[in-house]
Structure 1
């Protein structure tokens, strides 16, 4: 084992000088080195860590590898633990639950987070998710006037009818024929009431809430000479034995067609046709026909949806322009 004095190389000894002094330099140097080696060996042999054994119980790090000391918990680490990511789930924007790293001080709900994030569903019996301006369970105020209905035909294109208990809806609430076929209960300030079916549109100056009644309907509420009365009215889902019919517009073919539903208990929200394996919703016109401009689905299966979300599927209705064809189905009462 080299001593610190050998870090530098010693100059070569002068043999002539040795003869002059009469000392034997090499022998003395060898004795000194041997003595140092003996002392080092004794120190290593009696180390308390057992380095003097065969080395089987000593772990030595590989040259160049870092030595990682054992980790012991400190007082500061145990006193201030990091927040856990396995805490109470909090709702995200899409309503799903995700772990929250920060505990909340607000009291937790017993409902699942996804349920807390979503609005409560309305009861099916009273809701009309596909309704337009006219909604069930709502009373509307307006005025009633009267007009001569002639053969009973009107903007809804139902054609002549013997039913005289009909009305024309103001343009705002007519809503591009969404009101067509709706049954409404009308009550006058006197307490008299009637039920009419919407078959026509009352343009301006008819105001929102106004109904233009047939003479027959108006006369049951007040004398025709009155001309104008205050009323309230609301949507009905009446009891009836009739079923829905389908009619193709004049000029319809496999290349273009207009489709109409007649006699539905509840207002119609959508009419779809089956084309290339999928349902296609047809746009509705102000004269109450649903048009397929390029013939998609013309003569095929039809699906009807009312404002309550009920759906009826009708097959076997051929393209017979201006012919009223029965479906033998009807929407449920609400």
Structure 2
């Protein structure tokens, strides 16, 4: 994994302030956070793709979270509202911060400087997951799937944590296997274009068809998972077993699937 961290030596008083944890309840409605957790944030420059293989926004509106909060990749792509001394900014979870405990965020430089001073290095923050945030149509990266190469899929612009990604085959759907690096893997020996049924933990669902195999870049669809025009997805049954093929993650990507994102949005309160 390609990550470059900026580490800082900060006054002891700053560390004490940043270590204070507060929990604030807020209203849970569409487009707003369920609750906010207090902690601290530093900043860094992400690698090209980050752990989640989503890339990084050019304006630095991204975040890396610890192992528990990434939850084995389940929270990749979700959005956080982060409030610091100078205001609030919205970021997308795109990366793993291996050294971050629960409550600690590593923000993109652009996001950090919108809510705090870069010279501080570490700032106290509160943050919360945003349910049903406004995002564009789904983007899907499709690699492999042809010949002996296993299908590998990455989904972006889903907003909420995903529950399943399924490959349509005739009248049936095969559940792809989700990895800690945020890839959904499936069978090989496919041809033509494919269709994927994408579902989130709140039962929003969209069917994205016409996806070309063997592409290295994201393919832009016109389908929204929620809040936008989308045709009704097929109601065909899913197969019981996940598709077989899945590449093993490297040791540095080993994540304990715990904490904040199994069947609910990634919040700690």
Q: TM-score range by the shorter chain?
A: 0.5 to 0.7
Which of 211, 223, 226 is the matching residue for 2:117?
A: 223
Deviation string 1:176-229 (CA, Å, 9 cap, x unpaired) is 2111111110012x362111111111112x001221001111112221221222
Question: Cα distance 1:295–1:200, how it changes in 2: closer, same or farther (>3 A)?
Answer: farther
Q: 1:158 maps to what in 2?
A: 54
Which of 270, 273, 290 is the matching residue for 2:164?
A: 270
Deviation string 1:253-281 (CA, Å, 9 cap, x unpaired) is 25421011122233322111123532221
- Is the 2:166–2:175 contact (alpha carbons within 8 Å) kept by the matching residues of 1? yes
Q: 1:301 maps to what in 2?
A: 195
Alignment of 1:1-334 (within 5 A): 137-149=34-46, 151=48, 153-159=49-55, 161-188=57-84, 190=85, 192-204=87-99, 206-236=100-130, 237-240=132-135, 242-249=136-143, 251-253=144-146, 255=148, 256-275=150-169, 277-294=171-188, 299-333=193-227
- Is the 2:146–2:191 contact (alpha carbons within 8 Å) kept by the matching residues of 1? no
Cα offset for 1:145? Answer: 1.2
- CA-atom RMSD, angstroms? 2.7
Question: Cα distance 1:310–1:298, how it changes in 2: closer, same or farther (>3 A)?
Answer: farther
- Is the 1:273–1:297 contact (alpha carbons within 8 Å) kept by the matching residues of 2? no
Cα offset for 1:283? Answer: 1.1
Question: Cα distance 1:159–1:222, how it changes in 2: closer, same or farther (>3 A)?
Answer: closer
Deviation string 1:225-251 (CA, Å, 9 cap, x unpaired) is 2122221111123334x21111112x4
Q: Which runs of 5+ in 2 are unaligned?
A: 1-27, 229-269
Deviation string 1:7-43 (CA, Å, 9 cap, x unpaired) is xxxxxxxxxxxxxxxxxxxxxxxxxxxxxxxxxxxxx
Cα offset for 1:321? Answer: 2.5
Deviation string 1:124-176 (CA, Å, 9 cap, x unpaired) is x859xxxxxxx95122222111112365x311112364242111121111012
Question: Cα distance 1:301–1:231, how it changes in 2: closer, same or farther (>3 A)?
Answer: same
- Is the 1:178–1:268 contact (alpha carbons within 8 Å) kept by the matching residues of 2? yes
Judging by fraction of residues, say which structure has more helix: 1
Question: Cα distance 1:319–1:138, how it changes in 2: closer, same or farther (>3 A)?
Answer: same
Q: What is the TM-score of this pair, normalised by structure 1? A: 0.53
Q: What is the TM-score of this pair, normalised by structure 2? A: 0.65
- Is the 1:246–1:259 contact (alpha carbons within 8 Å) kept by the matching residues of 2? yes
Task: Flag as ranges the 4+ runs of structure 1 deviating above 3 A.
Answer: 293-299
- Is the 1:146–1:214 contact (alpha carbons within 8 Å) kept by the matching residues of 2? yes
CA separation in 2, counterparts of 1:203 and 1:274?
A: 36
Judging by fraction of residues, say which structure has more strand: 2
Cα offset for 1:285? Answer: 1.0
